[in-house]
Amino acid sequence: MRSVRVIPCLDVDAGRVVKGVRFVDLFDAGDPVELAARYDAEGADELVFLDITASAHERDTMVEVVARTAEQVFIPFTVGGGVRTSEDARRLLRAGADKVALNTSAVADPQLVSELGEEFGAQCIVVAIDARRRPAKSGANSRVGRKPDVGKHGGAGGERDGADTGADGRSDGREEASWEVYTYGGRQATGIDAVQWAVRCAGLGAGEILLTSMDRDGTRDGFDLLLTRAVVDSVTIPVVASGGVGTLEHLVDGATIGGADALLAASIFHLREHSVAEAKRYLASHGVQVRPAET
Amino acid sequence: MIAVLDYGIGNLRSAEKALVHLGADARLVSDPEVAATATGVVMPGVGAFGPCAAALRRSGLGEVALDAIARGVPFFGICVGFQLLYEGSEEAPGVAGLGVLGGTVRSLPEGVKRPQMQWNRLCRRDGTDSALLAGLGDEPWVYFVHSFAPQITEDVVATCDYGGEVVAAAERGRVWGTQFHPEKSGTVGLAVLRNFVKAYSAEESTAAARRAWISSAQ
């Protein structure tokens, strides 16, 4: 039996949970350990902490947060953000994190994925991919006036755009859409294709892919379902869909249309629009198998 | 003292912290001499069977584990630490496990994602009376991360459904093991560990009485 995991994501800056829209408008959402305990009690299946702090000093703060969480929260949790070296990863895992997510460091040195996988076990090593849609190619066949960003209207919209293109005798939407990997918190384009990168990471021994759509992150427009599906269909390791959840329906879409193994969301939980328990009831009532929230 | 065997593989903190959270005197132990004095032993393990088996041998803690089991000390193997109780694994042909439980460790069934990295429901084996699962509900959910699992033998007390029946927990006297991670399975997992702490406490009070008896003669 396959069950889908629901994962609240906590962006942590200097020891506090914050949430912003596309890395701006950050607001304080509380103490990470308290919030982690609350989500655990609500039935969260896992937690992800993303350390968005810049300074090395605050990195130590994150290690403390991890250690405190490990003393009180007995569900798996992943820590990402700023894991630059194998030593960073070691410190977090030793402090009690179950998994570390590598992003920029994996792109800079893919061997780090294998190296850490061998030392700690592949299941500890998550590769976080921040992906942004590439504008449709402007070749000889390109249509005048075509919107470059086909992702704005969700996966279904993207597919429709693709079908239009298909009528021109070109490939369908899924083959045509492509995404580029960004590093340094979304600031640095790498020229690497996101789907190919996911495949490579799986080959290097990553245990899981944490896939964030930069186009959707913080927009509350729903997951980039085409991106999610493209990666899910290309690798055999679990894929966590991230970026864009604004409604419970979006979670269902991520599991069904996107095919994700786990669903990550932040603001709908932090803002108390929905509890994790509500999200799970909604998923279950829409045919998605989840671990029921304890009542 | 419950010794959480630290043989140099992966993150072993979680098991220790969960036990401490339950009020047990649990410690990470890497020194075989210290581990030999434990009245309860937990053997975690993550990663692959081969490297774990090699590290267990190198550290000298494999022998300590076998001695503790022979003396009837409550023993709990978790994940790869559970698999190491068997004779061997398909994952590492030719590498010996401790062989305390009969049978070998096999790959998960074809046609499912490997690893199984998710929560799944436990299904108790008919006719088994399990101290490990005492007090848990009918089909409790627990967290799994694994690509291999022991074969089904008479020691198995619970399975889960993942492309077929997959071993989730086994018990043979005071030797317990779970393929799932009790230290990461929320309240259900803590209840499993509490059952172990209970078994350990009984052992510990006997051991304390023995120590008192010996010292009173001096």
pLDDT tens digit sequence for A83-129: 888 888 888 988 889 999 999 999 999 999 999 988 888 889 999 99
Q: Are B119 and A120 an interchain contact pair (Cβ–Cβ within 8 Å)?
A: no
**What letter does residue B183 receive in the DSSP assignment?**
G
Three-class DSSP category at A173: helix
pLDDT of the residue at A280: 97
The answer, yes or no, to whether residue A159 has pLDDT greater than 50, is no
Residue of B17, B117, B5 whose CA lies nearest to A74: B17
pLDDT of the residue at A9: 94
| More reliable by pLDDT, A31 or A171 | A31
What residues of B are in contact with residue A235 (Cβ under 8 Å)? none
Residue of A236, A242, A252 whose CA lies nearest to A219: A242
What residues of B are in contact with residue A41 (Cβ under 8 Å)? none
Q: Mean pLDDT throughout A219-243?
A: 96
pLDDT of the residue at A53: 78
Residue of B153, B160, B174 whose CA lies nearest to B76: B174
Sign of CA dihedral A30, A36, A41, A42: positive
- Interatomic CA distance for residues B30 and B27, integer angstroms: 10
Mean pLDDT check: name the lowest of A29-43, A145-159, B162-176.
A145-159
What residues of B are in contact with residue A288 (Cβ under 8 Å)? none
Q: Is the peptide bond before B115 cis (omega within 30 degrees of 0)?
A: yes
Q: Which tokens in the block code for residue A286?
A: 């829409």
Mean pLDDT rounded to a whole number for chain A: 85
Q: Which helix (H) or strand (E) holds A256?
A: helix A248-256
Q: Are A294 and B47 an interchain contact pair (Cβ–Cβ within 8 Å)?
A: no
Residue type at A242 in one-letter notation: S
Within a 10 A sphere around the Cβ of A144, how many other Cβ atoms?
A: 4
Chain B residues 173-192 with CB within 8 Å of chain A: 181, 183-187, 189-190
The answer, yes or no, to whether residue A232 has pLDDT greater than 90, is yes
Residues of B forming the active site: 79, 181, 183
Residue % of chain A over a pLDDT of 90:
62
pLDDT of the residue at B12: 75
Q: Mean pLDDT throughout A283-288?
A: 98
Three-class DSSP category at A37: helix
The nearest CA of chain A is from the CA of B141 a distance in Å of 7
- Interatomic CA distance for residues A33 and A15, integer angstroms: 9
- Interatomic CA distance for residues A108 and A156, integer angstroms: 34
The nearest CA of chain A is from the CA of B210 a distance in Å of 33
Cβ of residue B11 closer than 8 Å to a chain A Cβ: yes
Q: Looking at the DSSP assignment, which residues form a beta bridge with residue B170?
A: B156, B177
How far from the centroid of its chain's Cα atoms is residue A140's Cα? Answer: 35
Residue of A181, A241, A185 whose CA lies nearest to A216: A241
CB B30 within 8 A of CB B8: yes
- Interatomic CA distance for residues A162 and B134, integer angstroms: 56
Residue of A223, A224, A231 whose CA lies nearest to A150: A224
The nearest CA of chain A is from the CA of B133 a distance in Å of 18
Three-state SS for B119-180 is: EEECEECCCCCCCCCCCCCCCCEEEEEECEEECCCCCEEEEEECCCEEEEEEEECCEEEECC
- Interatomic CA distance for residues A43 and A293, integer angstroms: 4
First to last CA, chain B: 24
**At a CB cut-off of 8 Å and minimum separation 6, what does B31 contact?**
none
pLDDT of the residue at B105: 98
Residue type at B53 in one-letter notation: A
Per-domain residue ranges for chain B? 2-217
Alpha-carbon distances of A270 from A203, A218, B120, B204, rounded to whole Å: 35, 13, 27, 45
The nearest CA of chain B is from the CA of A187 a distance in Å of 31
CB B102 within 8 A of CB B96: no
**What letter does residue A29 receive in the DSSP assignment?**
E
What residues of B are in contact with residue A237 (Cβ under 8 Å)? 113, 115
| More reliable by pLDDT, B154 or A163 | B154
Three-class DSSP category at A182: strand
Sign of CA dihedral A240, A230, A81, A154: negative
pLDDT of the residue at A27: 66
Q: Are A70 and B14 an interchain contact pair (Cβ–Cβ within 8 Å)?
A: yes
| More reliable by pLDDT, A145 or A229 | A229
Q: How many residues does chain B have?
A: 218
pLDDT of the residue at A54: 63
Within a 10 A sphere around the Cβ of A137, how many other Cβ atoms?
A: 12
What is the count of residue pairs from A and B with beta carbons less than 8 Å apart? Answer: 98
| b/e A103-118 (16+ beta carbons within 10 angstroms → b) | bbbbbeebebbbbbbe
pLDDT of the residue at B127: 80
The nearest CA of chain B is from the CA of A57 a distance in Å of 24
Chain B residues 148-167 with CB within 8 Å of chain A: 160-162
Q: What is the ipTM of this complex?
A: 0.90
CB A232 within 8 A of CB A174: no
What residues of A are in contact with residue B119 (Cβ under 8 Å)? 3, 5, 45, 291
CATH architecture of B2-217: 3-Layer(aba) Sandwich (3.40)
| More reliable by pLDDT, B218 or A248 | A248
Three-class DSSP category at A8: strand
Chain B residues 87-126 with CB within 8 Å of chain A: 112-115, 117-121
Burial of A195 (0-12, 13-18, 19+ CB in 10 A): buried
Residue of A52, A56, A63, A45 whose CA lies nearest to A10: A52
Q: Are B46 and A123 an interchain contact pair (Cβ–Cβ within 8 Å)?
A: yes
What residues of B are in contact with residue A261 (Cβ under 8 Å)? 113, 117-118
The arrangement of strands across the sheet holding B75-78 comes to B26-29, B2-5, B40-43, B75-78, B175-178, B165-172, B156-161, B123-124
Mean pLDDT, consecutive 10-residue segments, chain B of 218 residues?
88 88 95 96 91 95 97 96 97 96 96 91 89 93 96 97 97 97 96 95 86 88
Residue of B46, B56, B63, B85 whose CA lies nearest to B173: B85
Q: Are B118 and A76 an interchain contact pair (Cβ–Cβ within 8 Å)?
A: no
Mean pLDDT check: name the lowest of A136-145, A242-251, B101-110.
A136-145
Cβ of residue B10 closer than 8 Å to a chain A Cβ: yes
pLDDT of the residue at A137: 65
Q: Are A98 and B14 an interchain contact pair (Cβ–Cβ within 8 Å)?
A: yes
- Interatomic CA distance for residues A201 and B132, integer angstroms: 38
Q: Which helix (H) or strand (E) holds B107?
A: strand B105-107
The answer, yes or no, to whether residue A152 has pLDDT greater than 90, is no
